[in-house]
């Protein structure tokens, strides 16, 4: 599992896919991101973990500017995040996002959910978008549900559709904001399996999650956050067996007991 097809160093471009430098963000008096520096290379799978309220979701959401930052800079594929507007919309099209609560478009069918972006943003003809959409739905194992509406699907199925919807834009990086936290336990694995496959295929991924199994299995790097700071960064093996900071040790002792 550790040797992945994408781990070819020559494939790496000279700039990181995501580069965050001295990023700060406040929610009122709360300092949620403190001087965050993080760089993610092409094909890398970075898992962000930490106690709730540590700022990991916010960090994820700043990368496509669903949350604006107060200071510092964020670059995606070397391009500085623009202000709200057409340019930002274009950049967001290149950044896939999967939400905790799926957020499938409730009034559109499964297939329409996947093809909306390709048709409206990429200007693909409908027939081509449908072909692409069905192909992606097949990849995530939901091809036979394509004419249903989101509410008719289980949580696990909805989240797989959400992944297909993001993939339909052929993103440079995929952001996962606690993708399995809202799922019933028996549905977690079907979503994680899709994510592991994606990782194997070389997708650049930022994954905020509590699934330590996924981190061990698919991550190249674990980023541990606490109180708005990146406290520790390491390979999954090193991090889980030999955490350096006291806060990481405390956190791991709490979650790995059971």
Partner 1 sequence: MAELFASYDILGAFWVTILITFWSAVGAMVLGTIAAIMRVSPVRPLQIAASAYIEGVRNSPLTLVVFFFFFALYQLMGMTLVAPSARSSTHAFLWGVVAMAVYHSAFVAEALQSGINTVPTGQAEAARAIGLDFTQSLREVILPQALRGAVSPLGSTMIALTKNTTVLATIGVAEASDVMRTMIEFRPDLLYVIFLIMAFGFVVLTLPMGMAFTALSKRLVVRR
Q: Which stretch binds partner 1 (CB under 8 A): 32-40, 68-76, 162-170, 227-235?
A: 162-170
Sign (positive/negative) of CA torsion 226, 96, 46, 161? Answer: positive
Q: Is 206 in the site for partner 1 (CB under 8 A)?
A: no
Q: Is 117 in the site for partner 1 (CB under 8 A)?
A: yes
CB count within 10 Å of CB 234 equals: 17
Q: Is 22 in the site for partner 1 (CB under 8 A)?
A: no
Cβ pair 206, 46 in contact under 8 A: yes
How big is the chain, counted in residues? Answer: 258
Q: Is 182 in the site for partner 1 (CB under 8 A)?
A: no
Q: Is 221 in the site for partner 1 (CB under 8 A)?
A: no
Q: Which stretch binds partner 1 (CB under 8 A): 19-27, 32-40, 145-153, 216-224?
A: 145-153
CB count within 10 Å of CB 186 equals: 10
Q: Is 79 in the site for partner 1 (CB under 8 A)?
A: no
Q: Which position among 9, 28, 85, 185 is part of the footprint of partner 1 (CB under 8 A)?
A: 85
Between vectors from CA 91 to CA 53 and to CA 174, what angle results, nearest 5°? Answer: 50
Q: Is 66 in the site for partner 1 (CB under 8 A)?
A: yes
Q: Which stretch binds partner 1 (CB under 8 A): 11-19, 47-55, 79-87, 223-231?
A: 79-87
Tokens of 103: 């957020």
Q: Which position among 7, 15, 120, 254 is part of the footprint of partner 1 (CB under 8 A)?
A: 120
Residue that is written with structure tokens 């499938």 in the block: 104
């Amino acid at each position: 599992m550790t040797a992945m097809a994408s781990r070819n160093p020559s494939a790496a471009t000279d700039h990181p896919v995501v580069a965050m430098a001295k990023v700060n963000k406040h929610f009122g008096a709360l300092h949620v991101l403190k001087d965050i520096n993080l760089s993610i290379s092409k094909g890398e799978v970075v898992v962000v973990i930490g106690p709730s309220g540590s700022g990991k979701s916010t960090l994820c959401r700043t990368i496509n500017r669903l949350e604006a930052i107060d200071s510092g800079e964020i670059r995606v594929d070397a391009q500085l995040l623009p202000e709200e507007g057409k340019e930002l919309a274009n950049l967001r099209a290149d950044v896939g996002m999967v939400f905790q609560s799926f957020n499938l478009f409730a009034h559109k069918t499964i297939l329409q959910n996947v093809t909306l972006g390709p048709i409206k943003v990429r200007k693909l003809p409908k027939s081509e978008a449908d072909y692409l959409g069905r192909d992606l739905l097949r990849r995530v194992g939901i091809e036979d549900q394509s004419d249903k509406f989101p509410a008719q699907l289980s949580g696990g199925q909805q989240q797989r559709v959400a992944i297909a919807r993001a993939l339909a834009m052929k993103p440079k990086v995929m952001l996962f904001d606690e993708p399995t936290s809202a799922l019933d336990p028996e549905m977690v694995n079907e979503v994680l399996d899709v994510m592991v496959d994606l990782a194997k295929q070389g997708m650049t991924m930022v994954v905020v999650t509590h699934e330590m199994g996924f981190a061990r299995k698919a991550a190249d790097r674990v980023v541990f956050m606490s109180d708005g700071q990146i406290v520790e960064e390491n390979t999954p093996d090193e991090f889980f067996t030999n955490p350096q900071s006291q806060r990481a040790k405390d956190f791991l002792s709490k979650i790995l007991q059971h």
